Amino acid sequence: MSLSVTILGSSGALPQHGRFTSAQWIDVQGTSLLIDCGEGAQMQIKKYDISLARLDYIFISHLHGDHYLGLLGLIFTLHLQKRTRPLHIFGMQGLDEIISIQLKYSKSNLHFPLQFSCLNPHAPTLILDHEKFTVTSFPLTHKIPTCGFLIREKPKPLGIDKAKLTEKISLQAIAKFKQRQDYVTDNGELLAYKQYTLPPKKTFSYAYCSDTAWDPNIVFVIKEVDLLYHESTFLQTDIAKAEETMHSTAKQAALIAREAQVTKLLLGHFSARYKDLNELLAEAQEIFPDSALACEGNIFTLTE
């Protein structure tokens, strides 16, 4: 597995019809991320048998309650579990104050360091440069400052052609080959990495577009991603409500996906007015056939 997305919550504004508010668990080559943390997120994590101890980074798109009200409970759970490894949170200005006030008045001194990075809601910004992937935030169009997130895997090591390996090829040589480096043996023989390697595995990308009005300006950021999550709170028949609340329709999400030439579209953040989501799916598929509902428990995996 290269990159996977597990949907923990798909409901907009409030839990309804068995749906939870926004939260997604992302695994990228063994590193775990949480994007948004609506109410009940940690219960969903338990339900789907995900190890909370593996969590390294949390990204909160904006400060509407349905996207972060589960965060404090999750932090306190990690504290009670005696976590000692740092936890890095990326969020809008003010989120650090919200967390600090809760800790202050509960007289809580966390067992682990809590590191906070403030998002830039005005321009695409590289916010995490991990050894295996990058995360870039980018501005969305909503009632309050809001960011989407773009995860891109970095180029992967070359594969090794095992049929060409002999006893003289040491583990040190193989490690060099994977990094596109030649190797010189103890007797001075040059082993060219190109003779022993195969093309690297494909890299993947995932874009998360949280609450946003229809905004074609994001297309250049998310161009040709493998998997796009775009909120689709309303049907096109309710476009007036979408415009009033600065949300998108399923049709508008599909238009963005088509314009950006993405591979697959995920729909989410559904209004409580819709119990049956098939109408939203059908509306999107008319424009972008490879669309799917991002419902609780669904796992979308990107692998070669």
Q: Write the pLDDT tens digit of every residue in 260-280.
A: 999 999 999 999 999 999 999
Question: Is residue 163's pLDDT more than 90?
Answer: no
Task: Please check whether residues 36 and 144 belong to one and the same domain.
Answer: yes
**Digit-coded pLDDT (tens) for 43-90:** 999 999 999 999 999 999 999 999 999 999 999 999 999 999 999 999
Number of domains in the chain: 2
Give the active site residue among 27, 36, 66, 211.
66
Residue 202 has a pLDDT of 92
Residue 224 has a pLDDT of 97
Task: Please check whether residues 114 and 30 belong to one and the same domain.
Answer: yes
Q: Which residues pair with 206 in a beta bridge?
A: 151, 227
Task: Please check whether residues 13 and 130 belong to one and the same domain.
Answer: yes
Contacts of 186 (CB under 8 A, 6+ apart): none
**Digit-coded pLDDT (tens) for 218-245:** 999 999 999 999 999 999 999 999 999 9
**Digit-coded pLDDT (tens) for 126-146:** 999 999 999 999 999 999 999
- pLDDT tier at 189 (50, 70, 90 boundaries)? confident
Residue that finishes a domain, picked among 140, 167, 197: 197
Question: Is residue 188's pLDDT more than 80?
Answer: no
Residue 46 has a pLDDT of 96
pLDDT above 90: percentage of residues in the chain: 84
Of residues 263, 265, 267, the one with CA closest to residue 224 = 263
CA distance 225 to 284: 18
Task: Please check whether residues 168 and 30 belong to one and the same domain.
Answer: no
Task: Please check whether residues 209 and 143 belong to one and the same domain.
Answer: yes
Task: Please check whether residues 191 and 266 belong to one and the same domain.
Answer: no
Task: Please check whether residues 283 and 169 belong to one and the same domain.
Answer: no
* Catalytic site includes residue 66: yes
Q: Which residues pair with 144 in a beta bridge?
A: none
Task: Please check whether residues 222 and 170 belong to one and the same domain.
Answer: no
Question: Is residue 161's pLDDT more than 80?
Answer: no
Long-range CB contacts (< 8 A, 24+ apart) of 76-83? Answer: 76/108, 77/42, 77/52, 78/52, 78/110, 78/112, 79/108, 79/110, 79/111, 79/112, 81/52, 81/53, 82/111, 83/53, 83/111, 83/112
Of residues 131, 178, 115, the one with CA closest to residue 29 = 131
Instruction: Assign residue 251 the CATH number of its domain.
Output: 3.60.15.10
Task: Please check whether residues 87 and 124 belong to one and the same domain.
Answer: yes
Domain of residue 192 covers 159-197
Task: Please check whether residues 193 and 209 belong to one and the same domain.
Answer: no
The per-residue pLDDT of the chain, averaged, comes to 94
Question: Is residue 1's pLDDT more than 70?
Answer: no
CA 189 from centroid of its chain's CA atoms: 46
| Phi/psi at 106 (5° precision) | -100, 5
Task: Please check whether residues 34 and 166 belong to one and the same domain.
Answer: no
Residue that finishes a domain, picked among 141, 168, 197: 197
Q: What is the mean pLDDT of residues 4-30?
A: 96
CA distance 301 to 227: 9
Task: Please check whether residues 99 and 215 belong to one and the same domain.
Answer: yes
